[in-house]
Amino acid sequence: MYYDDAIAEWPPMDSSVVLLSDSDHNLTSALLPTGAQVRPGDANDYWVSFNHVDSGYSAVTQSGWAETFNSSGRLISRARST
């Protein structure tokens, strides 16, 4: 969720994901509400999307990999995205 205007109250941390990017604004990792930090499967790749799904979190990398993590940060699946 993004906000264009200043907000008085942020969502609770126990339900928020902190997205981390490099100096070129490429999404390089995410800090999950459980405290686990997850990164793309390939250290030289970055995510172009990162979303909450029923099984945890789903991300798609710039090179076309779909990655799914459970809520504790364990990689559940990694497959070529179509």
pLDDT tens, position by position, 32-82:
999 999 999 999 999 999 999 998 999 999 999 999 999 999 999 999 976
Q: How many CA atoms lie within 13 A of 43 on its CB side?
A: 0
DSSP assigned state of 13: G
Residue 4 pLDDT: 67
Higher pLDDT, 5 or 39: 39
Contact 22, 28 (CB under 8 A): yes
pLDDT at 60: 96
Higher pLDDT, 3 or 18: 18
Alpha-carbon gap, residue 31 to 19, rounded angstroms: 6
Helix (H, G, I), strand (E, B) or coil at 40: coil
- What are phi and psi for residue 34, nearest 5 degrees? -75, -10
